[in-house]
Each structure stands twice: as structure tokens, then as C-alpha cells.
Structure 1
Amino acid sequence: MTPDEVWIAPAEWLPPAAEKTADALAASRVTAEEADAMGYEQLPVSPDLSAPQMAVRAARRALSRAGVPAADLATVLHAWTYYQGHDFWSPAHYVAAETGAGDAIPTGVQQMCNGAAAALRTALLQLAAHPGAPVLVTTGDRFAPPGFDRWGGDYGVWYGDGATAAVVGSGGDRVPEGSLALRALHTRAAPELESAHRDVAAFHEAPHLRDAAVNVRRTKKAYFTGRGKSAFLDRLRRETTAVLAAALAEAGIGPGGPGLSAVLLPRLGRATARDVYGPAVAEVTDAPTADLGERTGHLGAGDLLSNLAALASDTGPHRLERGRYAAVLSAGAGFTWSAAVVQRT
């Protein structure tokens, strides 16, 4: 199978409730400097639905968009970064059951915030082995208290609740109207950076024994103290440049990225887009970059599929025009980087 044969019909489901940055600022949950660096207006918040329940809603939208019955799915791949609502359980099987994919093989994908790209990569392997059998990819994350502080639990990342999904298929006989053709997907990893998110002092017997809530700031601060923040950011830039260049080459898009409408970024805020992703992308192409997180924040494993949904939308400022290409970047703790190149056909 070649990438030219693969199509993606993406969708998302975000809760209607939201917490505003202005309110977080007034409550001293963030500082004025943090709000300026992020540049986001609000974060979607789920007051009741769990992450897998939201994923089911996104899945139904993607299946409807693709015109694919759930019973036809061969595989369901569910990715996430944080707690799924039960301690000892398979959320992927729940998503498959609630979606109606009773004959599909459910599989969980845990590659942190690069989870959607990892699931998409797995979907390509499944399609290569079984052409014509569509695959459903979903993500779902809910960063609820008391276990997670969506505003202050991490440096330079604000976390929004929501879910995304995509039906991934191959072959030209039943390509859904409005779907995106996947022209390339490239991934790189640097496992030696995993300790940026690990408590190096000890492994623990159960969650939240060291801290009442997830504390990414503590592990990152320890990592930066020992190895240096500037070296870490330089590595992020270099890997982003390398993965984007490889994906554009795989898609047959030459130096400078002719025909490339945009490069959509992980939703990590204005300062990260300016200081890390902007310079990294500029090494490869002069196509404009965009961070679509102003009203979503970082969706955990879902940024990539949410960005694809924006490109595939029938309306909206980021709708990809027919014949044009776009690249979507993804990154996750570990660390892993991915770049997908799609075309509106």
C-alpha cells in the first residue's frame, strides 16, 4: 500500500462548558505572564462525561462523516494521556462496544500526546495487512480535579477536555466526500528524554502517592536543573525540523513546500509556537503556521486529529482547499514527534 491510497475522515467532540482564562487569572490560577505567553481564551471542561464517553461521541460523528457502519470496522484504536474513568479496565473495548463495532479488535494506544499519530501509524499497518477493512481511531482526555490542575499542573501547557476520532480507509472505490488523502506520516523518537516526565527518585506502588495531583512541573524542573532547558528546547526544534522535512519528502513536496497551505502545530500556546515550532518549521518551509488551541487548549492525545478535523471541515478559516496540501505536527512525552501531510482531493 502507498500513502496515496489512504483516506481519513476526522471529527471531534468538545464539551459545551468552558473555563475562561480571564476567570483563571482573576482567581490567581495563572499569572498575567502565563496568560500572555499562552494567548488562549478558554479551555473546554467536561462536568460529567468521562474521556471514553466523549470518544464515543466523536466516533459517531466520524463514522457518519465517512458513511461507514460501525459493524464494518476491523479495528478500533483508542489513545489517551490521562485517567479514563476506571482504575483497571480497557477504554478501547468500551469505545468499540458503545460505538457498535462488535466485530472489531479494540486496542489501546498509550504514547502520551503523540497518541493519535501512533494510532494512525498502527492503522496504516492494519490497512496494509487487510486492505479495504476500515479502522476507527479515537482519542479522549478529561483533565479533571482533584487529580489534575489543567491550568497549573504543567509548564507552558493548558489542558482542555475533549475527544477526537477518524475513520481511516484505503482504496479509491468508496472514498468519503470531504475526507483527506494521507500523503505521508513520519515519526521520530528520542527515548532518552523520557525522564523529563518521570520521578527519578523512585517508582511508586500506586497513583498519587508522591503528589495529590499530577505534577509535571516538578519532574520537568528536576530535568531542566540537571540537563539544561536550552538544550532540551534545541532538541525539540531539531527533531521537529527533521520529522517535518521527512514527511514533506515522503509526500513528494520539495524544498520550500510548494503547494503547502499551512503547518498546524500542537496546541501548546503562543510562546511555544513562536520560540520552538516557528523556527523549526521555518528551516523546512515558508508555509504559514497556526496554533488552533485558542478555544480548546491542549487536548492531550487529540491535537492532531482535531487539527485534521479543522482542515476537513466544510467551512471555517482553516478549511483545506481542494488540491492543496497541509502538514500537521504532533509531539508527546517520551519523546516522540510525528508529522502528517494531507491533501484535500
Structure 2
Amino acid sequence: MEDTCLIAVEAATTWIPEERETTSAMVAAGRITAQEADDLAVTAVPVARLPAPDMAVRAARRALDAASCDPADLGFLAHGWLYHQGHDFWSPAHYIADQLGAGAALPLGVQQMSNAGAAALGVAVDRLTANADVPAALVTTADSFRAPGFDRWAADYGVVYGDGGTAAVLRRHDPGRPRAALLLRSLAFETAAGFESMYRGRDDFSPAPLWPDGRIDIRRPKKAYLEMHGGIEKFAKSARDCVRSVLLRALAVAGIEPTDARIRHVALPRLADSVLGMMYLPVLDGLVTGDILRERENSGHLGAGDMLANLALFSSSADPGLDSGEYAVVLGGGGGFTWSCAVVQAV
């Protein structure tokens, strides 16, 4: 990303439902163990009654209002998701565009597991950079991990899945336009596709969704993968190497050193302590300055939305914020595997 085409994040927002499921209730019901609850390090996660795309629409309206952006000015809309969007054969991105009145926007769906929000952000940045006819772009995510197809507490290891929508409004940076909250100084990705089988295990390819038993069971293929490959160490080392590589590359493109005192915050994906301790925290220890943020209380893991939700932390004046000129580093990742890193600077 060259300085000749800096991208401004004019607003980043979330829409999180008010209803909650509590960790203590899940332990009492035998859904998770007390040890698993301690590892998740949250007391509650949001549970939605709305379909996922409607949460994206609500988050998008907040972002458009905050950016004073008319939906008719949007030339591009990228929607990322992890789990079922309400219909089996359908385009949620087009639905979101229609609900917003963004008739001039090209809608695009992005699926890259939990990294889909970051990937959608990258596509929007590329679109703005390459096409001067796109005045503004919108990125959204939304996921709803509802039963019976998904057990948000026990479907996976080291993750509790929360429901919610996120959105961000992007434009090419214009120093004369006062709306920008953040400058996206860099966005980098690192992939290790050889680990895609962790979510496949020994399972055969199926002819239809939820074919084996009508629900998502992430633990089964992961357990099979660990048995086939003699444990987690090979993956853990590769994950740390990828996180380190994507972090250092994003900082280099942004033109700052890891020890730059202007790096105020480093925001991590909204995952359990065990996952963060396996692949993120060992890399950061002694390498990067800034406070480490684990903003997962009352959200859990927002599926595709962690990166945009973390950008929303810095898009407003609310704590934790950024003073003018300060930087935040936002790390992400998703199964497959791809890791991401965004560096933003307060205007």
C-alpha cells in the first residue's frame, strides 16, 4: 500500500445483540467444564434473534451515519462471514446492498473462515486503489451461531462463538476531508494452506451441508488431524512463524519499527487464552511495544468479525482510543490457514 493512495477508515462500527448466554450457566448445565470456562476468559457472549445479514445491515447503518456517507455513494460492498447466513443458495452481500439502498455498489461475498472480515477489507482496499470510479467502499461481516446446527460453546476447542455484525466505511484519503477516523497504513496476509486439513480430518467430501449429523462439529476433524500428524507442535510452530512474518511485514510497509513508541495498542483475535498463548503472545513478547488488548468480554469470537470489531475500538474516541499520530496493530487469522495484520494510525 503506497502513500500515493492511502485508505481512510472513515468509520468502523459493531452491532451486538443485547441477549446473553453466561459461562456460569453453561458450566452448571454441563455444556463445558470449569477448566474450559477459565480458558475462554469471558463471563458471557451475545446471542442473536436476528438473522446474520440483518445484523450486518444494522452495523452498516451505524458506520454510514458515523461517516456521513450516503449509501448511494458506495461503489463496492464486501461482506464476509464464517457460518450460515440464513439461506442455502443465496447472496447475502446483495441483500445487504439492497437493504441499505446501495444500488450503485458491486456486492461481493468473501469466505475465508474467521479471516473473512480481514480478507473482505483487503478486497475493498484493492478495489479503491485500482478503480478511481469507486468513491467509497463498505465492508461488513455478520455471523449467528444458533442451535441446533451450531453449539457455540462446545463445537470447537479454545473458542466460544458470539453473534454480531460489524462494518467499516473506506475511502481514498483526502487531507481536505475531515471525516477520516483512521488511516490504514498497511494490511498484510500470510498463508499456510497445508493446514487446511485441520478442518477436514478424515471426513469424506459430502454432497450437502451438515451431511454427517445435522450440526457443525469442529472438534472431530481437529482431533483426527492431531492423531494423523502426531500432535499440535508442527502447526503451532508454523502459526507463530506466520504471525511473526505478517506482523513484521505490515509494520515495514507502514514504515514503523516494532519498538516505535507511537504503537499504543496491539489487538488480538477474540479467542481463548490457550489459542492466544499458542500462536500470538509468544511472538509479541519482547518484540512489539504497546498494550496487548484481548477484547472478548461480551462478544466472544465474532466469526468473521474480530478484525473489524477491533478496528471499531479505535474508530471512536471511546477507550481504548488513539491520540493523533498514534498507531494500533490489529492481528487476525482464520482456518485454512491465513493470518492477517492491519496497522492503523489516528488522524
TM-score (norm 1): 0.96
Residue aligning to 1:105? 106
How far is the alpha carbon of 1:282 from its aligned partner? 2.2
> What is the alpha-carbon distance in structure 2 between the residues aligned to residue 166 and residue 230 of structure 1?
36
Q: Is contact 1:74-1:105 (8 Å) kept?
A: yes
After the TM superposition, which residues 127-138 of structure 1 pair with which residues of structure 2 at under 5 Å, given as runs? 127-131=128-132, 133-138=135-140
Residue aligning to 1:330? 332
Residue aligning to 1:76? 77
Q: Is contact 2:7-2:184 (8 Å) kept?
A: yes
Residue aligning to 1:221? 223
Whether 1:310 and 2:307 are equivalent positions in the alignment is: no
Whether 1:164 and 2:166 are equivalent positions in the alignment is: yes
1:277-317 CA-partner distances (Å, limit 9, x unpaired): 1111226313331110011000000000000001112222x
How far is the alpha carbon of 1:276 from its aligned partner? 2.6
Question: What amino acid is the match of 2:188?
Answer: H
1:51-73 CA-partner distances (Å, limit 9, x unpaired): 00100000001111111100000
Residue aligning to 1:87? 88
Question: What amino acid is the match of 2:82?
Answer: T
How far is the alpha carbon of 1:231 from its aligned partner? 1.7
From the superposition, tell whether residues 196 and 174 of structure 1 become closer, same or farther in structure 2 (CA, over 3 Å). Answer: farther
Match of 1:300 among 303, 324, 342: 303
Secondary structure of the corresponding residue to residue 321 of structure 1: coil
Match of 1:254 among 254, 257, 262: 257
Question: What amino acid is the match of 1:310?
Answer: L
Unaligned runs of 5+ in 2: none
Whether 1:67 and 2:80 are equivalent positions in the alignment is: no
Match of 1:238 among 232, 238, 241: 241
TM-score (norm 2): 0.95
Q: Which runs of 4+ in 1 moved over 6 A?
A: none
From the superposition, tell whether residues 57 and 98 of structure 1 become closer, same or farther in structure 2 (CA, over 3 Å). Answer: same
From the superposition, tell whether residues 217 and 175 of structure 1 become closer, same or farther in structure 2 (CA, over 3 Å). Answer: farther
Residue aligning to 1:265? 268
How far is the alpha carbon of 1:180 from its aligned partner? 0.8
Moved more, 250-259 or 105-114: 250-259
From the superposition, tell whether residues 90 and 123 of structure 1 become closer, same or farther in structure 2 (CA, over 3 Å). Answer: same
> What is the alpha-carbon distance in structure 2 between the residues aligned to residue 72 and residue 257 of structure 1?
37
Secondary structure of the corresponding residue to residue 166 of structure 2: strand
How far is the alpha carbon of 1:265 from its aligned partner? 0.3
Q: Is contact 2:181-2:316 (8 Å) kept?
A: no
Secondary structure of the corresponding residue to residue 74 of structure 1: strand
> What is the alpha-carbon distance in structure 2 between the residues aligned to residue 82 and residue 21 of structure 1?
22
Question: What amino acid is the match of 1:288?
Answer: D
> What is the alpha-carbon distance in structure 2 between the residues aligned to residue 61 and residue 92 of structure 1?
17
Question: What amino acid is the match of 1:108?
Answer: G
> What is the alpha-carbon distance in structure 1 between the residues aligned to residue 260 and residue 298 of structure 2?
29
> What is the alpha-carbon distance in structure 1 between the residues aligned to residue 89 and residue 176 of structure 2?
39
> What is the alpha-carbon distance in structure 1 between the residues aligned to residue 43 and residue 316 of structure 2?
22
1:116-154 CA-partner distances (Å, limit 9, x unpaired): 111111111111122361000000000000000000000
From the superposition, tell whether residues 289 and 279 of structure 1 become closer, same or farther in structure 2 (CA, over 3 Å). Answer: same
Residue aligning to 2:154? 152
> What is the alpha-carbon distance in structure 1 between the residues aligned to residue 178 and residue 165 of structure 2?
21
> What is the alpha-carbon distance in structure 2 between the residues aligned to residue 289 and residue 272 of structure 1?
15
Question: What amino acid is the match of 1:302?
Answer: G
How far is the alpha carbon of 1:239 from its aligned partner? 0.8
How far is the alpha carbon of 1:175 from its aligned partner? 4.0
Residue aligning to 2:55? 54
Counting aligned pairs with the same residue, the percent is 46
How far is the alpha carbon of 1:200 from its aligned partner? 3.3
> What is the alpha-carbon distance in structure 1 between the residues aligned to residue 103 and residue 85 of structure 2?
21
